[in-house]
Amino acid sequence: MRYLSHTPDDLREMMEVIGIERVEELFDSIPKNARRDSEIAIEPRSEWRLLREFEEMAQANRTGTAFIGAGSYSHHVPAHIPYLASRSEFITSYTPYQPEVSQGTLQAIFEFQTLTGSLLGMEIANASMYDGASALAEAALMAIRVKKKPKIALSRLNHPHYIQVLNTYFKPTDFETAELGALPDGRTDYGKIPEDVSAVIVQSPNFMGVVEDLAAAAEAAHAKGALLVVSFTEAMAWGLLKNPGSQGADIVCGEGKSFGIPQNFGGPGVGMLACKKDFVRTIPGRLVGQTVDKNGERSFVLTLAAREQHIRREKAVSNICTNSGHNALTAAMYMATAGKEGLREIAQINHDKAAYLKAGLERAGFKPLFDAPFFNEFALTAPAEFEKRRGELAEKGFAAGLKLDAFPEYKEYKDAYLFCATEVHTRDVLDAFLESLKFLKEVA
């Protein structure tokens, strides 16, 4: 394929259409302090010099133990997961448009769908989304397509970043959101759901770590003629908690990164999206189905595709064009090898470690912000001296919680912090962290 660059006349014509005079104006929305105006000085380097410089840069990264979750959780990645996932037949596979030559890729996606449906208690799951935030936004659009009402009710206890992504999706549309407030126990208030909404969207465990009463949420949503959309940032929770489908959820969406995918300084992730069978023709992205070929052999194919690459654009329900396929494969490998009992055991360890940490912090003078069940993270109000000495804890290698009022959405939670512990936090590490807080008792 030939590459024909844009001519100066092409550029001038495009800029006239969008109303700018210089190409640089395209970047005006980026804050000046985040832009580099000068030229980047790049000089040729040998491979060994370049590696040495990268190693020196890596040494600047602060190492230690983070007691922070908030959507990105530190979990053990078994050695067999990256080994299997990095095999050439997986790592080099491409979009499975031609089923006759893509059976391996299609089967891997089908297994991911099956495992996701089983985990979440839903009848249908798609081939994954970009990440948990885009999955929530697509679930909201899906609910609007089903109910044909341009408004959704959104719990303020959903992850703030997920809400920002949803608002970005809604910005060029006439769709609206109504916020549902929080109760004193850290759960969503379902008593003020508007009459004209397509869905109620609630996260569980929510951003504060609190496990929502999903059965009550379903009852309240359905009483208003709305769907219940359950979101999540911690897929591991469903190894222990009652799954959303069994509690009346209509659509379930969230982040599956906890299943064998490293944190990688924030990304990439893998979005999970599942629903009741009734809504299969409105689900975005890809869906792999199982069938038999002309010889009666088990085979797989993309089916009921509702995205614009497969059907006439005016009939498409989504423009999602990828599905984080390799991460979905990795998550499927993790779920398959851990199994139902393995996931339950790991999830139980998560809860127990978090409960141990919470009890220790309370002994050190922290106060629970909410009195409700939690999974592996929880919110506490800190003693006055804690904020002043957090820097010392960082020097010792401890990232001691996430300050809640750093989020504009939660300014009322002064001196409150979100803590998290998972299976990677050993008893020795937990005890060392709690021991480092002894200055709080000395001040008291």
Q: Which tens digit of pLDDT belongs to each residue from 169-203? A: 999 999 999 999 999 999 999 999 999 999 999 99
pTM given for the model: 0.88
What percent of the chain is modeled with pLDDT above 70? 96
Residues of each domain in the chain carrying CATH 3.90.1150.10:
65-75+340-443
Question: 107 exposed, middle or buried (CB, 10 Å; 0-12, 13-18, 19+)?
Answer: middle
Mean pLDDT of the chain: 93
Does pLDDT of 264 surpass 60?
yes
377-381 vs 298-302, strand pairing mode: unpaired
pLDDT band at 267 (very low <50, low <70, confident <90, very high): confident
Residue 96 has a pLDDT of: 80
Does pLDDT of 157 surpass 60?
yes
Kindly provide the residue ranges of all beta strands, DSSP E only, lying in 7-78, ordered along the sequence: 65-66
Residue 411 has a pLDDT of: 95
Across residues 10-15, what is the average pLDDT? 94
Helix axis angle for 325-363 and 103-120, nearest 10°, is: 30
Task: Assign domain 80-336 to a CATH class.
Answer: alpha beta
Residue 444 has a pLDDT of: 52
Outline where 86-227 has alpha helix (H): 88-91, 103-120, 132-147, 160-170, 214-223
Across residues 331-349, what is the average pLDDT? 97
Across residues 384-394, what is the average pLDDT? 91
For residue 34, give every residue at least 6 positions away whose Cβ sits within 8 Å of its Cβ, in sequence order, or none: none
Side chain identity at 340, as an amino acid letter? K
Residues of each domain in the chain carrying CATH 3.40.640.10:
80-336
367-368 vs 298-302, strand pairing mode: unpaired
User: Which of these ranges, 32-36, 178-182, 349-353, has the smallest mean pLDDT?
Assistant: 32-36
Q: CA 190, CA 210: separation in Å to the nearest integer? A: 15
Tokens 């009346």, located at residue: 248
For 221, the token pair is: 């949503």
Cα separations in angstroms, 144 against 130, 147, 257, 335, 346: 20, 5, 27, 31, 36
CATH of domain 65-75+340-443: 3.90.1150.10
Across residues 419-424, what is the average pLDDT? 98
Q: Is the peptide bond before 160 cis (omega within 30 degrees of 0)?
A: no
